DNA sequence: TTGCGTGCAAAGGTTTTGCATGGCA
DNA sequence: TGCCATGCAAAACCTTTGCACGCAA
């Protein structure tokens, strides 16, 4: 028999990630956050699952400032060549900024500087609107943070 | 007595990095590359030295796609708020793309999307001119060799 | 029943830390 | 002579791999 099996773990992880589409998790954080909701998943399974999502193009991975692998679920929507990925250094959320400037920038860098940007792999770091305003919250237990220096 | 000491290792590493300003080294790569020139430096020392350069703002660190810490020496020149950092996924070199679009982009993201980008922490990933031609190559030691201008 | 999925334990690889020794000022 | 720097070894981490067992189809 061929094909993938539908398991409790996969179902739960998918459900959880879909409900936190903005957040970027390390495998450890994902497992821990789910545990807090009473769902246990092995660390190894979390690693393997997140990697498989990337292979299926339903999540993306990037390395945060501390060198950890963070994954964001996006359900395969994305036409991610056409927009920026910006991540807030404070709250750790990742946003897709869908605007014409992404394409313009890519073209400009290629035409004028000879560099071909891969927007899917590129992440701009900064601070989101909410975090600029507020004392900012989040980071209760360190979940989904990707701050740090570069 | 207070202050830093000037040592053989620091002198040699500084000299070496200054001569390879475009390239991004892991501490391991730096030590290995210098060994190839007959200068031995302990791995621990390379780690500590590169980190200290970052603290002094004469180098910058980023995490490559494999999660390794790479460092690029820039001698403290940089006004790095005003330009992009683009890194070639193939050869690992980092280029500064100094152009008006960097500022425009930052302004646009802030004005239209409420996101304040920190250009110093942001890295665009793609492929440089030389590597597109097939010229660039990463040696088995991981040392970068693709010294094109951007 | 078949074979993919899971998770523990161990291995691999990178980075940090402890500590005795060496070298600069 | 005082400290700081160095580098080995070990610890601390994150991630991957091996393997026996469990479970979906």
DSSP result, B81-120: TSSEEEEETTT--EEEE--HHHHHHHHHHHHHH--EE-TT
- pLDDT for B13 equals 98
Split at pLDDT 50, 70, 90, the class of A24 is very high
Pairing of strands A59-63, A94-97: unpaired
CA distance A38 to B61: 38
Cβ-based burial of A16 (10 A; exposed 0-12, middle 13-18, buried ≥19): middle
**Å: A110 CA to D8 C1':** 48
Q: Residue A88: what are its φ and ψ, rounded to 5°?
A: -85, 125
Q: Taking phi first (over 0 means left), then psi (-120 to 50 degrees means alpha), and beta for anything else, what does residue A136 get?
A: left
Residues in B closer than 8 angstroms to A131, CB to CB, are none
A67 vs A141 pLDDT, higher one:
A67
Q: Residue A125: what are its φ and ψ, rounded to 5°?
A: -110, 140
- pLDDT for B82 equals 67
- pLDDT for B123 equals 85
Contact flag, residue B121 CB and nucleic strand D, below 7 A: no
- pLDDT for B55 equals 94
Residue indicated by tokens 């201008």? B149
Split at pLDDT 50, 70, 90, the class of A132 is confident
Largest CA distance in chain B: 54
Residue indicated by tokens 């501490």? B27
- pLDDT for B101 equals 81
Q: What percent of chain B has pLDDT over 90?
A: 41
- pLDDT for A3 equals 81
- Inter-chain touch B108–A117, beta carbons under 8 Å: no
- pLDDT for B141 equals 32
- pLDDT for B78 equals 59
User: What residues are paired with A62 via a beta bridge?
Assistant: A70
Q: Decide: helix, strand or coil at residue A70.
A: strand
B65 vs A139 pLDDT, higher one:
B65
A101 vs A56 pLDDT, higher one:
A56
Cα-only R_g, chain B: 17
B98-107 residues labelled b (16+ CB within 10 A) or e (exposed):
ebebbeebbe
> Which residues 6-35 in chain A have a CB closer than 7 A to strand D?
6-8, 26-28
Give yes or no for A68 touching B (CB within 8 A): yes
- pLDDT for A145 equals 29
Residue B87 pLDDT more than 70? yes
Residue B139 pLDDT more than 70? no
Q: Residue B125: what are its φ and ψ, rounded to 5°?
A: -110, 145
Q: Token digits for B80?
A: 């790095």
A99-119 residues labelled b (16+ CB within 10 A) or e (exposed):
bebbeebbebbeeebbbbbeb
């Amino acid at each position: 028999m061929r094909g993938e099996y539908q398991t409790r773990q996969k179902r739960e992880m998918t459900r959880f990630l879909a409900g936190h589409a903005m957040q970027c998790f390390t495998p450890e954080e994902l497992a821990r956050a789910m545990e807090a909701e009473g769902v246990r998943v092995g660390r190894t399974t979390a690693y393997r699952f997140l990697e498989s999502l990337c292979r299926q193009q339903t999540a993306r991975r990037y390395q945060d400032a501390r060198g950890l692998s963070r994954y964001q679920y996006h359900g395969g929507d994305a036409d991610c060549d056409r927009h920026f990925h910006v991540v807030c250094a404070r709250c750790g959320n990742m946003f897709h900024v869908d605007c014409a400037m992404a394409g313009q920038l890519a073209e400009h860098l290629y035409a004028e500087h000879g560099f071909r940007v891969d927007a899917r792999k590129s992440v701009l770091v900064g601070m989101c609107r909410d975090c600029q305003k507020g004392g900012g919250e989040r980071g209760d237990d360190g979940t989904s943070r990707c701050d740090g220096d570069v």
